[in-house]
Amino acid sequence: MGRFGPTKRKIPVPKRHGVRDPLKRLAEKEAAIKDKINNPPKEHDVQEVSNSFKRFIQLKEKANNDAGYTRQRDRPKISIGKTVVQKQAKETESSFLLRATTMQKEREAEVNFGVKYGVEVERDEVTGAIHIRKRKGTEVDAMLKKRLRNAKAGKDGKKGAKFREETKAKKLTLSEKRAKKKEKELEKKRREEDLLLREYQYDKVEFGEVVKGPPTLNTLPRRADKQNGAARPGSKRLLLHAMIEPQADEADDQQQTPSKKAKPAVTTKIDLKGKRKNLPVATRMKIEREQQNVIEMYRQLKKSAQSKK
């Protein structure tokens, strides 16, 4: 062993688990090659073929004899409706296309015949036999027949008789009327709520607007009653107010107690004669006011002329 460990590095090799007895190994070797040595061919000029070549010959013979192994070329096909037209063996391309075109024309003629006379034409694809069967009526045909019967049964004989049943308004039952009314009320309520939301949704502030305090409401709502009984919070008159503003309180009392000597307002009578009787009252008053102004101006001119003399 060296100074820093073993001087020789041990390389791992696979272990051999074969037969260790040399006689047995020799016997196995001779058994494996006994058919290859000291075994001349039975016939001098014949050589045995390999097994793979034998399998190839068998497949070839099977393909030649068995019909299932014959490969057929895919012939072109054309589908016309439910019928499939296939090109036959040794048939030219032009003859195949001509046969397909003829068959297509026959199918179109059958369909047109069925539509014209209201029947269904059925063809047997194997034998080529044709069977005609009556077509079942559709809903549209039934509706047309019903409308024709209603037109014939009309008493007045007008065009409107054809659609008499359709134009009749359906009578609603009591429950349906209630449901419809309730639905209208809900729709109206929903529209009002939408309007309220739309009104309070946006806060419009004008440019340059300055807010120094909350707004004060000086007017009452349209249907609100005047204050009766106890005063509302913030509007109660205190004793200090009476000492500071005695005159204002007296004026308020005078306004609250109606005076018995108050004279009724003098109503001016409007002249309803002449050319102005057909005019509105406001227009007539305006014309009279302008007339009085012109008269006053004329009188002033007269006075000024007399004073100059």
Rounded CA separation 107/122 (Å): 10
Q: What is the pLDDT of residues 109-155, one digit of tens each?
A: 888 888 888 788 888 877 878 888 877 765 666 777 777 777 766 54
Task: Please classify residue 104 by burial: count the beta carbons closer than 10 Å to its beta carbon, then call 0-12 exposed, 13-18 middle and 19+ buried.
Answer: middle
As given in the structure block, the two tokens for residue 77 are 């096909």
pLDDT at residue 14 in the model: 78
Contacts 24+ apart (CB under 8 A), 98-106: 104/80
Three-point CA angle 163, 164, 167, nearest 5°:
80
User: What's the Cα-to-Cα distance from 114 to each of 68, 97, 121, 245, 281, rounded to whole Å?
Assistant: 44, 26, 6, 109, 87
Structure tokens given for 15: 């272990």
SS in 3 state form for the chain? CECCECCCCCCCCCCCCCCCCHHHHHHHHHHHCCCCCCCCCCCCCCCCCCHHHHHHHHHHHHHHHCHHHCCCCCCCEEEECCEEEECCCCCCHHHHHHHHHHHHHHHHHHHHHHHHHCEEEEECCCCCCEEEEECCCCHHHHHHHHHHHHHHHCCCCCHHHHHHHHHCCCCCCHHHHHHHHHHHHHHHHHHHHHHHHHHHHCCCCCCCCCCCCCCCCCCCCCCCCCCCCCCCCCCCCCHHHHHHCHHHHHHHHHHHCCCCCCCCCCCCCCCCCHHHHHCCHHHHHHHHHHHHHHHHHHHHHHHHHHHHC
Handedness of CA 176, 177, 181, 187 (dihedral sign): positive
**Are the C-beta atoms of residues 288 and 274 closer than 8 Å to each other?**
no
Q: pLDDT value at position 156? A: 47
Distance set, CA 238 to CA 203, 244, 257, 262 (Å): 38, 10, 21, 31
Residue 155, pLDDT score:
46
Tokens 């539509």, located at residue: 115
- Main-chain dihedrals φ then ψ at residue 85, nearest 5 degrees: -100, 120
Report the pLDDT value the prediction gives residue 77, as an integer from 0 to 100: 87
Residue-by-residue pLDDT tens, the chain, 309 positions: 556 666 777 788 777 777 778 899 999 999 999 888 887 777 878 788 899 999 999 999 888 887 665 556 678 888 887 788 888 888 899 999 998 999 899 888 888 888 888 788 888 877 878 888 877 765 666 777 777 777 766 544 555 555 555 555 567 788 888 999 999 999 999 888 887 777 666 667 788 888 777 777 777 777 766 666 566 666 666 666 666 666 655 655 665 555 445 555 555 555 556 667 777 888 888 888 998 999 999 999 888 888 876
